[in-house]
Amino acid sequence: MRTAPTGCLSLLMFGLVLALPFVLADAFLTALTKLGLGPLSALGVAVGIFVGGAINIPVARVQQAERVEYRPTRLLGLHRFLGRPVRHRAYTVVAVNVGGCLIPTVLAGYQVARMALEASAALGALGIALGLNVGLCYSFATPVPRRGIAMQPLIPALAAALSETVYECSLSSASRRTTNRSIAA
């Protein structure tokens, strides 16, 4: 029985690894277009999220009782090549990430405004789902000293799925009440 040489399998795996970012980017763009954005707008939002992920806007400085260790070359693993300079500072900078916070918040605001114009009856159900999602994530988030705020990675996804279920149930019960009122009239 003849088998394929191992070089072919490794070449196939290498090709799949190279194709993975394109598949994920296509899925991301498809999700953005399903949110009601045009293809060019979806591309602009996607590029904004990716590029904005490297931009942090400082919001506040929190003074610390002890000096905090800061390694400026840890970005992208550069500390392995450039040495390990350590700076000590007496404050922590609280910053907002453009690609991870500001652009998604603007996108969510756009979706709420669009929903308010197209289906204003769904805003109550949206508020319930939003409150549930925020409450669950807030209750599971824990501050980690010298790192930030940590949360188990599946909690936001499970909270979003639960919120979507509550939203759909609220929306379907509201549409049934509206249908029953129109039949009775």
How does pLDDT run across 119-128, given as a tens digit for each residue? 887 888 888 8
Q: How far apart are CA 123 and CA 173, in angstroms?
A: 14
Mean pLDDT for 157-181 is 75
First-to-last C-alpha distance (Å) of the chain: 76
- The larger pLDDT score, comparing residue 93 to residue 17, is at 17
CA 5/CA 12 separation, integer angstroms: 11
Residue 65's pLDDT is 73
Alpha-carbon span 48 to 29, nearest angstrom: 12
3 confidence band (pLDDT: 50, 70, 90): low
Q: When comparing pLDDT for 164 and 77, which is higher?
A: 164
Q: How confident is the model at residue 170 (pLDDT cuts 50, 70, 90)?
A: confident
Q: What is the pLDDT of residue 44?
A: 94
The CA-atom distances, in angstroms, between 106 and each of 32, 100, 101 are: 13, 11, 9
- Is the distance from CB of 156 to CB of 137 less than 8 angstroms? yes
The mean pLDDT of 79-83, rounded to a whole number, is: 60
Please give the pLDDT value at position 182: 53
Which residues are paired to 150 by β-bridges?
Answer: 142
170, 128 contact by CB (below 8 A): yes
Report which of residues 13 and 167 the model is more confident about. 13
- Give pTM, 2 decimals: 0.68
